[in-house]
Amino acid sequence: MLRALTSTSRRAFSTSLTTDGVKSIGVIGAGQMGIGIAQVSAQNANTPVLLLDADENQLAKGLASIAGAMNKAIAKGKLTAEIRDATLGRIKTTTNIADFSSADFIIEAVSENPSLKRELFLNLDKIAPKHAILASNTSSISITKIAAATTRPGKVIGMHFMNPVPVMKLVEIIPGLATSDETLKTTLELAHKMNKITTESKDVPGFIANRVLMPYINEAIFVLQEGIASKEHIDTTMKLGTNVPMGPLTLADFIGLDTCLAIMRVLHTQLGDTKYRPSPLLVKYVDAGWLGKKSGRGFYDYTK
């Protein structure tokens, strides 16, 4: 059963709120992306964060993951224990979406599902303060379409972080058709406080990164499917031949094959071009539950 924050936690989150700028951030989803966004919000932007997930165990796991990553950084001399403690102290958790009633800026990082995101923004619109900005971490879904589910389309924007969030410097900013200049300005300022470099994209399927990246990954899967080369030779060729840190199939496993498939389907259906047709092998792997590193198996075996 979902439960609200304790009164003590709620006060700790609420008392810092003002109407002058972003004084509190809500993050929805305690998966890999959500906890990363929560960490950079608390650590770099020095802002109180309320992290929401329907699963209490996932919230606990997420906080432990943040602490573990920061402990590794401390061991390497890249971080201090004081910064770790201050960061963790700024992050509160909840399983009740109603606790976002005092948030200034809310970032969702749930599954790449258009219906799920529209329903979520519909509910957030009813709960969040009128001044609050609602941002989506979507990597391919129309911000304009998401915003249309709300009564505040001018305050809805795309904020596409890269994975892993604490390490990757880029955030794609995507204004929707109705996004106001003020919302864009506030979002850019917040991203810069998180120590991120920003780029801006028009609200088109895939935006910049995935419009280029996902067809590249999809084509690599076609090469594997057609028996042109082994997965190791595909990855080695692209890694060393283009001077990138990992090959396309390894990268797909890291992103999640279900996420890759969801994005390719958005590109294919929204752009209507057969060049974006998902590889049948990608579909087969997802159907089998071989989702990549997070499931223990994708193009490579991570169980060993």
Give the residue numbers marked as catalytic.
139, 160, 172, 210
296 marked as binding residue: no
Token readout for 292 is 């990549």
CA torsion, ordered 26, 70, 67, 53, to nearest 10 deg: 30
Note the Cα 196 to chain centre separation in Å: 14
Is 46 known to sit in a ligand binding site? no
Q: Which amino acid is at 91?
A: I
Question: Is 34 labeled as ligand-binding?
Answer: yes
Residue 36: is it exposed, middle or buried by C-beta count within 10 angstroms (0-12/13-18/19+)?
buried
On whether 23 is known to bind a ligand per the annotation, the reply is: no
Q: Is 253 annotated as a binding residue?
A: no
139 annotated among ligand-binding-site residues: yes
The annotation status of 226 as a binding-site residue, yes or no, is no
Instruction: Confirm or deny that 294 is annotated as ligand binding.
Output: yes
Rg (CA), the chain: 20
58 is in an annotated binding site: no
Round to whole Å and give the CA distance between 266 and 145. 13
Binding-site residue set: 29-34, 53, 112, 117, 139, 163, 294
Binding-site residue set for NAD(+): 29-34, 53, 112, 117, 139, 163, 294
